[in-house]
Amino acid sequence: MTIAQILMHFGWWALVAIPAFLIVLTLIVFVHELGHFMMGRAFGVKIESFSIGFGRAILGFHDRHGTHWKIGWLPLGGYVKFWGDAGVSSNPDHEVIDAATPEERAQSFHHKALYQKALIAVAGPLANFVLAIAIFAVISMTLGEPLVTPQIGRVLPKSPAEAAGLRIGDRVLRIDGRKIREFSDIFEAVSLSGDRMLSFEVVRDGRILAINVTPKQLDRPDGLGNTVRDSMVGIAPIIPSEIGDVVAGSPAAKAGIKVGDYLYKIGDEPMENFNAAARALLAASGKPVKIQFLREGAKEPIAALLTPQVVNGATTSGDDTVTATLGLVPKHRGSPKIETLVRFGPLEATVRAGKRVWFFVAKTFSFLGQLLTGRGDYRQLSGPIGIAQVSGQILDQMGPGALILLLAVLSVSIGLLNLFPIPMLDGGHLLYYGIEAVRGRPLGEKAQELGFQIGLVLVVGLMLIATVNDLLKFAHS
């Protein structure tokens, strides 16, 4: 990388990536700390400060309860400081709490019942999960979600799917007994499998077949110019062809097909493009054929019986054939749309959002399991630099609205990370409370301090590995 390229990179970062990253991080931290704050207030805990960022306050005010709300000069986290805390990690200041008056004890976090302290600790990560579910649900209700039928439209050469015998047109019913309702279910099942063999149950020519497929860990593009490693079998969904125009008076017009619909099937054969449709129509020789098409907002394909017009003379392309026989004109794009968007009601949208959050949680544990068993790639870990880079790419290529999706995904990640049983994190506090519940008394001060030191080493070590990975990726970009 030349000096000019480095300057261009950092200039782009300064203008796009860093502000986008800080906006996303600040919102996630605010919601996380708000969870602790609200649960603490519910149990009558006195809260001295609510800080977004660390260090000296550059902006702040005191509310009527005496809490100092502030923004620190280093915007890389945040904290809620309860009365009696020795620091931002909620370690008890024994000199203060041991000398507390009855009135102060009533408002002290460290004098609350064990279950109350546990609920206050878990409220932060829980708020992150609620934020993600709310974002995903609102998107499902307003913009809609893609629904792609779980039918194979493409099998990549030399892929696990080809080796196992999966074919174009196979409709996947179940994977390892789990019912498959849409193509994203296939992606999730394969992604969570690692390299474990999966049992696919598919429908082919009216028969149900059981086919075993072993995924492989392969690199795939993430749509932003980066590559990520994931488990894949090498299949893709049917790619319907979008209709750009309908000829007036044509068979398609009489059948009610509209601009913006997607040609899906002719007969029982999936149509990956207009060339495939042309072959099927010419084979019909003017006889009625069953056409299935997709329409935005419809959860199932719409069927119609059409009689193609006889073509007089040769056509120059598959597109021309479909236009001449049915009256459909394809709408060409650089990347074809492969689904229809469906808007869901509040209940169904919330359920789908919850399932999506659970997938991210399960995917994280799957990745950690692969790392512990030596089958994972630690280079996939990313820290603030990597997140900032992705934030900038999303803002630059997809617009500000797409950052909301990144906000939801990172909110899940940060909420889950904070639940890990590592002292310093919320999960570490929960671990201490669990030990106290079993022993009947808390760990000694020295044992807790040693735990926090070990936790600090683990967190810093993880951040160093992630940062080195980010720098290496940045240097090769």
348 as an active site residue: the answer is no
DSSP 106: H
Structure tokens at 122: 């878990």
Residue from 162, 334, 171 nearest 265 by CA: 171
CA angle, 421 then 425 then 426, to 5°:
80
CA of residue 64 relative to chain centroid, distance:
39
Q: Contact, 294 vs 301, CB < 8 A?
A: yes
| Catalytic choice (33, 182, 242, 272) | 33
- What are the distances in angstroms from CA 22 to CA 49, 73, 459? 21, 12, 20
Cα four-point dihedral sign 382, 356, 156, 200: positive
Q: Contact, 220 vs 198, CB < 8 A?
A: no
Q: 222-225: long-range contacts (C-beta < 8 A, 24 or more apart)?
A: 224/390, 224/393, 224/394, 224/397, 225/393
Q: Say if strands 241-246 and 171-175 run parallel, antiparallel, or are unpaired.
A: unpaired
DSSP H helices, 181-317, are: 183-191, 251-254, 274-284
Q: Contact, 73 vs 24, CB < 8 A?
A: no
> Residue 76 is inside which H or E element, if any?
strand 68-82
Q: Which residues are catalytic?
A: 33
